[in-house]
Amino acid sequence: MSDFSLKRDWKNIDWKATFMYNVFRSICATPLWVLFSSLLEKHFVWQMILFPLVYFAFWLPFGLICGWLARLGVPFIGLLSIVSSLVIVIGDPVAWTVHKIKPELVPLDKPPFLDFHLIVFVTKNPDAIPACTYEGRIVADENVQFMGEVFPIRKTLFIIKPDWSVETLKDQYFGFVDIQGAIKKGRLQKGIDPRETAIGEMVAYIGHDNVCYSPEQQRLGQYDTMPEPQYVPTSVNPISNDNHQEMLDRHEEISQKRKLVKSDFPDGYQTCPFAGHVEAMNDFKFLDIDWSQKEIIFDIDLRGYVKTPYDDFFGYIEENGDIMKDGINDEIAIKIASLKGQFCYAGNQKIGQFIEQNN
């Protein structure tokens, strides 16, 4: 920043972005220093791969000390500070190029092509687009017809991204959500600005209760994981048979309205270690159903029960990660898929990614 003053702008410094951007500068400078060193030495100099560590451990503090001494009037010492700046500045054109191609990788809105400052301070911009407050996945909480399509319960309606963009399972570029919670169809050519509330065709909106409604105020769905409730269990371990049945009944009642969370269980109660959901990795056919990329195939709750968008009770998951179909009313359970690490497999086919429930 050409008009930046450390003393004046101290309170406005975004320290996280400052750290990330200067680390990014050093990473961008690394391949150039590897190339220069290899040309000079006529062989690959592997030590230059450690340039980011060398920069932060030596060149940055060395340059700051030299700059401080130069301000005290020590002659010629400022030249050493300039050398330290040149060490890092060669990474700026690379950072600038990466920003032009993939701006989300660079933690700075408009990185300069060349910046001869030893360290670049990033300040908070009061006019910048605010952080998205609607991020998350919205799923149908009952069977609904919407936008000419029938959505069964637990089917994904919208995926709201951190940049305010909105995806559906069939359209990665569906639209955006504005700052008032209105979900709009279509993208703005100049980029998403959620403060532009008068632009775009509203197809749905998110109410103050975190529920998604149609413009006609028809309830469509809610966030995949609702805020964790303040619930104090009425029983403690060991659980009596009566209390255990009471807890099971309560869990069944809660599961009809939202996801079960760990605070719904007594302290020390052993919950299912595979609680979470499986997202389809690609468009494919499975269980005689056409699945879309990022669609939830299996939803596993903390009891180990498994749902799909088409089966309110599909089955259960075993301790080894095998997903079993049905198995109630004395029926024989059938293995359908299995969780192995971060992925779900049906036979030898990798069908989805496992996303663990974190609350």
Do 143 and 57 reside in the same domain of the chain?
A: no
Question: Cα–Cα distance between 304 and 319 in angstroms, integer?
Answer: 9
Residue 5 has pLDDT above 90, yes or no: no
* pLDDT (0 to 100) of residue 205: 95
Q: Is residue 123 part of a domain?
A: no
Question: Cα–Cα distance between 352 and 286 in angstroms, integer?
Answer: 11
Question: Cα–Cα distance between 127 and 16 in angstroms, integer?
Answer: 19
Question: Cα–Cα distance between 182 and 196 in angstroms, integer?
Answer: 11
Question: Cα–Cα distance between 260 and 44 in angstroms, integer?
Answer: 55
Residue 213 has pLDDT above 90, yes or no: yes
Identify the domain containing residue 327 by its residue range: 271-356
Do 29 and 85 reside in the same domain of the chain?
A: yes
**Mean pLDDT across the chain:** 82
For helices 77-89 and 60-71, the axis angle rounded to 10 degrees is: 150
Tens digit of pLDDT for each residue in 56-105? 888 888 888 888 887 788 887 777 778 778 888 888 888 888 888 887 78
Q: Is residue 155 part of a domain?
A: yes
Tens digit of pLDDT for each residue in 175-190? 999 999 999 998 765 6
208, 200 contact by CB (below 8 A): no
User: Mind spelling out the 3-state secondary structure of 69-130?
Assistant: HHHCCCCCHHHHHHHHHHHHHCCHHHHHHHHHHCHHHCCCCCCCCCCCCCCCCCECCCCCCC
Do 14 and 98 reside in the same domain of the chain?
A: yes
Q: Give 200's pLDDT tier (boundaries 50, 70, 90).
A: confident
* Phi, psi for residue 62 in degrees, rounded to 5: -60, -45
Question: Cα–Cα distance between 1 and 108 in angstroms, integer?
Answer: 11
**Which of residues 109 and 305 earns the better pLDDT score?**
305
Residue 117 has pLDDT above 60, yes or no: yes
- Classify residue 91 as left (phi > 0), alpha (psi -120 to 50) or beta: alpha
Long-range pairs, 262-265, Cβ under 8 A, ≥24: 262/302, 262/359, 263/228, 263/229, 263/230, 263/231, 264/229, 264/231, 264/233, 264/302, 265/233, 265/302
Q: Quick one: tokens of 337?
A: 């898929």
Do 284 and 349 reside in the same domain of the chain?
A: yes
Do 205 and 280 reside in the same domain of the chain?
A: no
Do 157 and 99 reside in the same domain of the chain?
A: no
Do 99 and 152 reside in the same domain of the chain?
A: no
For 279, counting Cβ atoms within 10 Å of its Cβ (0-12 exposed, 13-18 middle, 19+ buried), the class is buried
Q: What's the start-to-end Cα distance of the chain, in Å?
A: 41
* pLDDT (0 to 100) of residue 126: 59
Q: Is residue 162 part of a domain?
A: yes
Count how many domains the chain has: 3
Please report the DSSP string for 224-278 in residue order.
SSPPPP----S--SSPPHHHHHHHHHHHHHHHTTS---GGGS-TT----TT-EEE
For 192, the 3-state DSSP assignment is coil
Do 15 and 72 reside in the same domain of the chain?
A: yes
Question: Does the predicted model carry a pTM greater than 0.75?
Answer: no
Do 146 and 215 reside in the same domain of the chain?
A: yes
For helices 92-101 and 15-41, the axis angle rounded to 10 degrees is: 120
Tens digit of pLDDT for each residue in 134-189? 999 999 988 889 988 888 888 899 999 988 999 998 888 899 999 999 999 987 65
Among candidate residues 275, 246, 274, the one with its CA nearest the CA of residue 261? 275
Do 101 and 14 reside in the same domain of the chain?
A: yes
Question: Cα–Cα distance between 244 and 250 in angstroms, integer?
Answer: 10
Question: Cα–Cα distance between 265 and 130 in angstroms, integer?
Answer: 36
